[in-house]
Amino acid sequence: MSTAELLQVTTEADQRFESLFRTHHQAVLSYCRRRMAATDAEDVAADVFAVAWRRLDDIPEGEAAKAWLMAVAYMTIGNHRRGSTRRLSLGDKLAAQRGGEPETPETRVASSEEDLRLLTSLEKLRASDQEILKLVAWDKVSHAQIATVLGISVAAVDQRVSRARSRLKKEYEKLQSPEGVVFRA
């Protein structure tokens, strides 16, 4: 391959990556921020795009690229969490010594009793139910894209979303007393 041909290939790859980054970086970063601390989310989002650069030829075209990037983000977040158990434990210990709990994305956005009740209900669900509901409600990802992110069929996504919503509704209703008082666990 000649130098001119190599430069053209590099330029096309650079342009494709730049387009992917411009189009999907904010969605990937938002996805990560809703699942972890903002500083970690930025690092994980950067890792996602490092993977995207290395595997540029594997990324599908069009809207399927977003689902592919979300799937990488999902796995990267899991890897990050597994690798940072000791850091999180230390952070919790330090927060306890200071007399407060660390702020989470959920506690930042919960501004009403209803929001708190909904978030508390969501926290009581299994991790898989939480993830699928967050993909639908927070990330506005289609069921087809969720299927790609989680590596399951669209029919399985439909079923899981329906079941997770039912479980969320039950948990939400449990937190209401007859007087409308919220009981926070």
- Structurally, the chain folds into a number of domains equal to 2
Q: Whose structure tokens read 């702020």?
A: 103
What pTM does this model have?
0.57
Long-range CB contacts (within 8 A, 24+) of 90-99: none
- String of DSSP letters for 48-88: HHHHHHHTGGGSPSTTHHHHHHHHHHHHHHHHHHHHTHHHH
Given 102, 132, 149, the domain boundary residue is 102
At 12 the three-state DSSP class reads: helix
pLDDT, position 154: 93
Residue 109's domain is classified under what CATH number?
1.10.10.10
Co-location of 145 and 97 in the same domain: no
Co-location of 81 and 163 in the same domain: no
Co-location of 82 and 6 in the same domain: yes
pLDDT, position 94: 58
pLDDT, position 139: 85
Co-location of 52 and 109 in the same domain: no
pLDDT, position 70: 94
Residue 182 pairs with which residues in a beta bridge? 176
Co-location of 79 and 8 in the same domain: yes
Co-location of 94 and 119 in the same domain: no
CB 117 within 8 A of CB 123: no
Co-location of 89 and 120 in the same domain: no
Given 52, 72, 102, the domain boundary residue is 102
Given 86, 102, 118, the domain boundary residue is 102
Co-location of 109 and 56 in the same domain: no
Co-location of 50 and 86 in the same domain: yes
Which domain range does residue 122 map to? 105-185
Q: Which amino acid is at 29?
A: L
Co-location of 81 and 114 in the same domain: no
pLDDT, position 163: 95
Co-location of 138 and 78 in the same domain: no
Residue 20's domain is classified under what CATH number?
1.10.1740.10
In angstroms, the CA 123 to CA 38 distance is 19
Question: Using CA of residue 27, residue 25, residue 132, residue 155, what is the dihedral sign?
Answer: positive
Co-location of 114 and 88 in the same domain: no
Tens of pLDDT along the chain (185 residues) come to 655 564 555 688 899 999 999 999 999 999 999 998 888 999 999 999 999 999 999 999 988 999 999 999 999 998 888 776 655 566 566 556 555 555 555 555 555 677 778 888 888 999 889 889 988 888 888 999 988 888 889 999 999 999 999 999 998 888 875 544 554 44
